[in-house]
Amino acid sequence: MFQRPILHIALSSAIALSTLSALPAQAQTADTSAVVQQYATLVYANYHDVLSSAQTLQKAINTFTAAPSAQGLEDAKNAWLAAREVYGQTEAFRFYSGPIDSDTGPEGRLNAWPLDESYIDSVSGKPKSGIVNNPKVKITKGNLAKLNERGGEENIAAGWHAIEFLLWGQDQSDTGPGQRAFEDYVDGKTANADRRRAFLNTATQLLIDDLGTLVKAWQPDAKNYRAQFEKGGIASVRKMIVGMGSLSRGELAGERMEVAMNTQDKEDEHSCFSDNTHRDVVNNAQGIANVWLGQYKRLNGSVVQGASLKDLVAAKNATVAERVSRQMAQSVANAQAIQAPFDREIVGTQDAPGRLRVQKTIDSLVQQSKDLTEAAATLGITKLAQTK
Amino acid sequence: MKLRIRQKVGLVLTAAGAIAALAWPVWSHGNADLSNVVQGELTAGEATAFATGRNAFSMPLPTLDDAERARFAVGNSFFRRNWVEAPASTTARDGLGPHFIARSCGGCHVQDGRGAPPEVRKGQHEQPVALLMRLSIPGTGAHGGVVPDPVYGDQLNNAAIQGVQPEGQVQIRTQTLRGRFADGTPYTLQKPMYRLGQLAYGPLAPGVMISPRIAPQIAGVGLLEAISDQDILANAAAQAEAPGPIKGQVNHVWDDFAQTLRIGRLGWKANQASVASQTAGAFLGDIGITSPQHPDEACMPSQHDCHVAPKGSQGKAPEIDARTLSDVIFYQATLAPAARRNVADAAVQRGQALFAQTQCNSCHRPSYTTGAAPYATLSSPKVQGLKIWPYTDLLLHDMGPGLADGRADYAANGQQWKTPPLWGVGLIHDVNGHRRLLHDGRANGVLEAILWHGGEAQPAQEQVRRLSAQDRQALVAFVESL
């Protein structure tokens, strides 16, 4: 979602270097560079997999919009769910103004959330609302990009969740996801079906374009962000940790779970149309662990593996490294225990079993963010603005 | 940036020990000896957030505990997320309007940041979002405040829910002003002029006064409200005694939470005394959300469609309850000011000296030590006892006819504006992608903002006009390091 996360670990690179200046500089250079390079390899592999899974999604969506059917819609939904498994892991690469969320980065176009459904299409009680039902707006990639986040952070016209809403529709069921009918895409059955098809196709193409720029930014042997990043040494390690810590604490524990626990409102779950939030949580937690372990399991089953942040920390303090590893495994396990649908899991009294499962995951992620701060300190990264 | 880093590394190689020794007091929490004289990187001691980029204004005080962090997250959500028209499936967030300007706090304070006026091209522009128009007629109203326009109230709402008419539209024209620095370098300024059109409920009252106000960034407001009354009064007393034109004045304004008059410190005319009062007021005025402090919608007597429009919470309770409102207030009060950047840069250090030399710091007072928050349950005890660097005296000053809105607001007259804090100014571009400054965003960048200074600040402004191009750049570099 937004570049908005209440970072709990973050700081300017100036301090990074200055702090380092007080350390014996050579001690860690060799390992650091291997760890940073392995991270770049992992990031590239993960984004590459997202792009190919999104291309599969695009095929399914194009097939569906060419001849709308119940089965076609089902296939498109399944392709969306599959792609989200891969994308969720990449969110650990955010929060340090890298390619995904720099000034010009596509994060707000890719994964903005929460969104105001009525900005996109008709909703219950408002049959004429949204861009789909406003023929004055020509549906082009340029226009959707321009309308995204215009006049409010929830005015979302692009990205995963816009596509999700167009596939599933509003979630008005307590037990399952949204129930949009495929007839919404059939001329003569529902108003502006042609514009809805165009919106879905166009938003998907925009998604592919944006993912393509991320792949380019991280591809090896090019004059790109990766080339700079690989030369960054300990400053790049800091970025890795800022990404992991911010996703752990501010975004995943805070924005996506503490808020939902507080309001008990189904509008407050991340993938609210598809009821896929429980998987978002697992994939985010897994993505953080991936970075820590320097390892990522690709779509084709192969494993990218190499020098890890964990090893780097272990060389300084094996106990701390072990604790971080344990806590991250715990977070993933706790997240996996959360049951679908998430919007029912958060409802009830303090001791409702679902709420306890979510709370355990929050607690583990908060602890993990603190442990990460300690791990950073072993590398001489001491001026993180941290929760005490 | 890159250059600066290289320089640092070079220095480290030649004199690592010396750098470390010099650097320590600046970074060390609690070692205030050096930082009393010249500000280092910290803007609020251990509560400084080390952040740049899009999230620079969105950081919590790093000193918050786990429970406070959770409350911060909840408040953040209600700050940012849209309120929707009633009736809606989401009862937690319904009740938008009937009239409104934005659908959420974050609609104007995007990323907790600062709004910009719409670009005017060939006389055409979009409706402003983060720039609101305050309205009043001559006279003194309740508690010494303004008398609202009898038909439109105390601000123009240019949006409305379905079935209700927006009150009107804002029309902006600009005039180009030209001038020269003492060294002959020409500059231009854009002076905006405002008209209200397409008025839905008939004409405005004769003699109505219009004051444009841009949405400022939020980070640090919880520390500004923790500056003691004594410090603000002392600023006024010191200026009264000192020779020269600078004579700041304290505003006293009604506070909805204290239910009494308090010293104003927030808002472009210091027309709000606390984050709490400001927030409850903005929920009603800007989003149309009723609260325990403001239980009735801001529909004026003749606005029939506004009165009959559906209300949120099924019309049974305030649209935002006391607890959620308190979380939104807490969120803002615990947003941390970001650390300074480029502190060691030679131009920045030169600019810092010029800032004092040209007497910018007479009004933009650099630092304070905070007292307690005004409402303990609506902030964190962590805001107290911090050495903060906001660069403001929180006083009203006559800024001359060029900037005047001609509209009084409590004790503030039509030429007075509150000295706005300068912390975070250099990060507005990171967060919001623009550099628009002053009460209506008319200045594009720090130098233009200085050139608009008149009235009490006229001599300081003229001093800046006499600076060399290099020194002007240094002064700007310093302000942008804040």
Contact indicator for B262, B255 with CB cutoff of 8 Å: yes
Closest CB from A6, A155, A255 relative to B60: A6
Closest CB from B4, B62, B72 relative to A14: B4
Nearest CA in chain B to A246: B59
| Spatial CA neighbour of A268 closest among B325, B331, B88, B93 | B93
The pLDDT value recorded for residue B55 is 87
Higher pLDDT: B37 or A157? It is A157
- Say whether A14 and B341 touch across the interface (CB within 8 A): yes
DSSP state of B102: -
- Say whether B89 and A172 touch across the interface (CB within 8 A): yes
Nearest CA in chain B to A18: B8
- The predicted-structure confidence for B184-224, as pLDDT tens digits, reads as follows 999 999 999 999 999 999 999 999 999 999 999 999 999 99
The pLDDT value recorded for residue B90 is 65
The pLDDT value recorded for residue A215 is 98
Using alpha carbons, list the distances in angstroms from residue A298 to A89, A167, A301, B374: 11, 26, 5, 54
Closest CB from A4, A13, A388 relative to B5: A13
- Residues of A with Cβ-Cβ distance to B79 under 8 angstroms: none
Is B90 part of the contact surface with chain A (CB cutoff 8 Å)? yes
Residue A383's pLDDT band (boundaries 50, 70, 90)?
low
- Say whether A17 and B16 touch across the interface (CB within 8 A): no
Tell me: pLDDT of B38 over 70.
Answer: no
- The predicted-structure confidence for B143-164, as pLDDT tens digits, reads as follows 999 999 999 999 999 999 988 9
- Say whether A258 and B104 touch across the interface (CB within 8 A): no
**DSSP-derived 3-state class of residue B3:** helix
- The predicted-structure confidence for B130-144, as pLDDT tens digits, reads as follows 999 999 999 999 999
* Least confident window among B54-68, B166-180, B308-322: B308-322
Is B434 part of the contact surface with chain A (CB cutoff 8 Å)? no
Q: How far is A180 from chain B (nearest CA, A)?
A: 17
Contact indicator for A94, A246 with CB cutoff of 8 Å: yes
Is B41 part of the contact surface with chain A (CB cutoff 8 Å)? yes
Closest CB from A10, A97, A154 relative to B82: A154
- Mean per-residue pLDDT over chain B, rounded: 90
- Say whether B77 and A263 touch across the interface (CB within 8 A): yes
What does the block give as tokens for B285?
């005025």
- Say whether B106 and A152 touch across the interface (CB within 8 A): yes
Longest dimension (CA), chain B: 76
Nearest CA in chain B to A152: B107
Q: Which of B3, B76, B85 to mutate to test the interface with A (most CBs of A within 10 A)?
A: B76
Closest CB from B1, B50, B64 relative to A11: B50
Is B3 part of the contact surface with chain A (CB cutoff 8 Å)? no
Tell me: pLDDT of A129 over 80.
Answer: yes
| Owner of token pair 């009490």 | B456
- Say whether A258 and B8 touch across the interface (CB within 8 A): no
Tell me: pLDDT of B8 over 50.
Answer: no
Residue B3's pLDDT band (boundaries 50, 70, 90)?
very low
Give me the DSSP letters along A60-113: HHHHHHHS--HHHHHHHHHHHHHHHHHHHHHGGG-SSS-TTTSTT-SHHHHS--
Q: How far is B19 from chain A (nearest CA, A)?
A: 8
Higher pLDDT: B27 or A114? It is A114
- Residues B214-245 as b/e (b if ≥16 CB within 10 A, e otherwise) read bbbbbbbbbbbbbbeeeebeebbeebeeeeee
Higher pLDDT: A196 or A13? It is A196
Q: Which of B27, B29, B54 to mutate to test the interface with A (most CBs of A within 10 A)?
A: B54
Phi/psi zone of residue B228: left (φ > 0), alpha (ψ -120 to 50 degrees), beta? beta
Q: How far is A270 from chain B (nearest CA, A)?
A: 12
Residue A221: Cβ within 10 Å count:
7
CA B153 to chain centre: 23
Tell me: pLDDT of B66 over 80.
Answer: yes
| Spatial CA neighbour of B450 closest among B404, B403, B408 | B403
The pLDDT value recorded for residue A89 is 98
Q: Given CA atoms B450, B453, B457, B459 in this order, what sign does their dihedral have?
A: positive
Nearest CA in chain A to B1: A14
- Residues of B with Cβ-Cβ distance to A14 under 8 angstroms: 4-5, 8, 341-342
Contact indicator for B161, B85 with CB cutoff of 8 Å: yes
Helix (H) or strand (E) segment spanning residue A132: none
Percent of chain A clearing pLDDT 90 (strictly above): 78
Is B25 part of the contact surface with chain A (CB cutoff 8 Å)? no
Longest dimension (CA), chain A: 73
Encoded amino acid at B252, one letter:
H
Cα dihedral: B455, B461, B466, B470 (round 10): -170
- The predicted-structure confidence for A329-376, as pLDDT tens digits, reads as follows 999 999 999 999 999 999 999 899 999 999 999 999 999 999 999 999
Tell me: pLDDT of A95 over 70.
Answer: yes
Contact indicator for A344, A330 with CB cutoff of 8 Å: no
Tell me: pLDDT of B56 over 50.
Answer: yes
**Residue B414, CB half-sphere, CA atoms under 13 Å: how many?**
14
ipTM of this predicted structure: 0.81
- Residues of A with Cβ-Cβ distance to B45 under 8 angstroms: none
- The predicted-structure confidence for B232-242, as pLDDT tens digits, reads as follows 999 999 999 99
The pLDDT value recorded for residue B94 is 85
- The predicted-structure confidence for A251-268, as pLDDT tens digits, reads as follows 999 989 999 999 888 778
Report the distance separating Cα A264 and Cα A222, nearest Å. Answer: 47
Tell me: pLDDT of B22 over 80.
Answer: no
Q: What is the mean pLDDT of residues A190-203?
A: 98
Q: How far is B257 from chain A (nearest CA, A)?
A: 25
- Residues in Cβ contact with A277 at an 8 Å cutoff, skipping those fewer than 6 apart: A256, A269, A270, A271, A340, A341, A342, A343
Q: Given CA atoms B316, B322, B324, B325 in this order, what sign does their dihedral have?
A: positive
The pLDDT value recorded for residue B461 is 97
CA B386 to chain centre: 20
Q: How far is A250 from chain B (nearest CA, A)?
A: 8
Tell me: pLDDT of A117 over 80.
Answer: yes
Nearest CA in chain B to A172: B89
- Residues of A with Cβ-Cβ distance to B82 under 8 angstroms: 116, 152-155
The pLDDT value recorded for residue B89 is 61
Closest CB from A4, A259, A265 relative to B90: A265
Residue A30's pLDDT band (boundaries 50, 70, 90)?
low
Q: What is the mean pLDDT of residues A131-139?
A: 96
Using alpha carbons, list the distances in angstroms from residue A183 to A71, A120, A191: 12, 17, 10
The pLDDT value recorded for residue B249 is 98
- Residues A82-110 as b/e (b if ≥16 CB within 10 A, e otherwise) read ebbbbbbbbbbbbbbbbbbbbeebbbbbb
Is B26 part of the contact surface with chain A (CB cutoff 8 Å)? no
The pLDDT value recorded for residue A173 is 83
Closest CB from A11, A152, A170 relative to B104: A152
The pLDDT value recorded for residue B130 is 94
Q: What angle do CA B415, B421, B423 make, to 5 degrees?
A: 150
Q: Which of A1, A3, A6 to mutate to test the interface with B (most CBs of B within 10 A)?
A: A6
Alpha-helix runs per DSSP H in chain A: 13-21, 29-66, 70-90, 107-110, 117-120, 141-147, 160-168, 193-218, 225-230, 234-246, 259-263, 277-293, 309-316, 318-337, 342-345, 353-378
Report the distance separating Cα B138 and Cα B135, nearest Å. Answer: 10
Encoded amino acid at B322, one letter:
A
Is B80 part of the contact surface with chain A (CB cutoff 8 Å)? yes
How many Cβ pairs within 8 Å bridge chains A and B? 168
Residue B34's pLDDT band (boundaries 50, 70, 90)?
very low
Higher pLDDT: A4 or B243? It is B243
The pLDDT value recorded for residue A139 is 97
- Residues of A with Cβ-Cβ distance to B60 under 8 angstroms: 6, 8
Tell me: pLDDT of A16 over 80.
Answer: no
The pLDDT value recorded for residue A321 is 97
